[in-house]
Structure 1
């Protein structure tokens, strides 16, 4: 016996709904526990991320306050009291704080005329690949300056050669030490040329440029840039 149209549509809807309920029940029986586990793990991971971020910001704030306190002690001419907090920050996992603390420790050692201790701290920063390259370069220059009298000229030249070029941020400081190393090796031609480059470079600090002008003149090198010569006329 055929079903009336309305009854047929109602029957089909009921069958369709029953099929969906069966599919959902089957899915939940098979995968329900894993769905719950995934949700719990996701929420736990998100909570752990928020907590770690909060702890990181909190720890950075504490280290910042500790570093500020160490600088205050140094400003009060009390390096002994600053030693402990600086040592703590020098072991930090935060690159900037760690490098700054080691730079400060090295400067304190220099004030005590402890060249070896200062050079060791600068060397640690120079070798730290997690620190930005300009700070590593500066540390290498400071290390070389502290060790300069005990280094062979060729070691100075090889160490600072990549920095002793126009355009490098530390060209003046590195170039001056390399030029002096050339002089120690009796290479007046190389020393004079480098002093001339330093003297004509507007990006080099004035004190270094003035010394370079004097040294270039002694070595017979014209250290006046063309535009400066035209102005003088």
Structure 2
């Protein structure tokens, strides 16, 4: 049997490898051409719409940046107006502070505008113009875009301003939603409401409300003290912890006991 020489076998293997390499290169070229053709076809069909979407997105982003810069500038301007007015008010220049806030108070919606209206209402009240102050307080109280806490404050201030001329039923209707433990102005609204209950002859409701105010640790101590005294007059014990109360007032239990004994022998 004849044997194939090793050098001829090597040439055949080499030729086969070259042919395989050429085929692979050809396939890559064909694949690249196909890919390029697909890309060109895709761009021809969708290039313009995609470019339009991209440009619209860039325009929207630019518009947002412009709007944001305008908002920041407006906020800074409003803050400067409020601070300037406060400086005038603290210096005793009520008329100047009132006039400075006029433009801002005439705007709609924003928290700075609501604050400006409340400040002008306070100035009007100090100047003795109750009608103008009440109108401004009502404006804030009825403004659905204002923060709930500011609306509650305006309603409370308006009731306090017109308390003597209001019917008890009107006062109860206005203050009862505010005189709830946990609400921002519970203690102040509750005190007015409790006195209204007394005017209506509802001593039990008044005493219970005074007791709640006396136990409200977030309320000013002067208000809690008044409420505690009123609750006691109405026969309601508003003291939860005697020792804690004595400690707050800087009185020792022995000293308090001695004072009570002395009062009992008099």
Q: Distance in 2 between matches of 1:139 and 1:204?
A: 19
Give deviations 1:106-137, integer Å, cap 9, x for gaps: 10111122222222222222233333322222
Moved more, 102-111 or 64-73: 64-73
Aligned residue number for residue 102 of structure 1: 117
Q: Distance in 2 between matches of 1:200 and 1:51?
A: 51
Tell whether the 8 Å contact from 1:116 to 1:147 is kept in structure 2 after alignment: no
> Comparing both chains, which one has the higher relative contact order based on Cα–Cα distances under 8 Å and sequence gaps of 6 or more?
1
Moved more, 172-181 or 195-204: 195-204
Aligned residue number for residue 22 of structure 1: 37
Say yes or no: does 1:189 pair with 2:209: no
Aligned residue number for residue 31 of structure 1: 46
Give deviations 1:166-225, integer Å, cap 9, x for gaps: 333322111111111112212223223322332343332122223323433443444444
TM-score normalized with structure 1 length: 0.86
The number of aligned residues is 231
Aligned residue number for residue 226 of structure 2: 211
Aligned residue number for residue 42 of structure 1: 57
Tell whether the 8 Å contact from 1:119 to 1:146 is kept in structure 2 after alignment: yes
Say yes or no: does 1:5 pair with 2:17: no
Say yes or no: does 1:153 pair with 2:168: yes
Say yes or no: does 1:130 pair with 2:145: yes
Aligned residue number for residue 111 of structure 1: 126
Residue 80 of structure 1: which of 95, 100, 104 is its match?
A: 95
Deviation at 1:50, TM superposition (A): 1.2
Say yes or no: does 1:58 pair with 2:73: yes
Task: Pick closer, same or farther for the CA change 1:211–1:24 going to 2, 3 Å.
Answer: same
Aligned residue number for residue 9 of structure 2: none
Residue 106 of structure 2: which of 68, 85, 91 is its match?
A: 91
Moved more, 169-178 or 199-208: 199-208
Q: Which runs of 5+ in 2 are unaligned?
A: 1-17, 247-252, 258-266
Give deviations 1:44-72, integer Å, cap 9, x for gaps: 11111111111111111111112222222
Task: Pick closer, same or farther for the CA change 1:224–1:18 going to 2, 3 Å.
Answer: closer
Task: Tell me which structure has the larger Cα radius of gyration.
Answer: 2
Q: Distance in 1 between matches of 2:212 and 2:56?
A: 62
Q: Which runs of 5+ in 1 are unaligned?
A: none
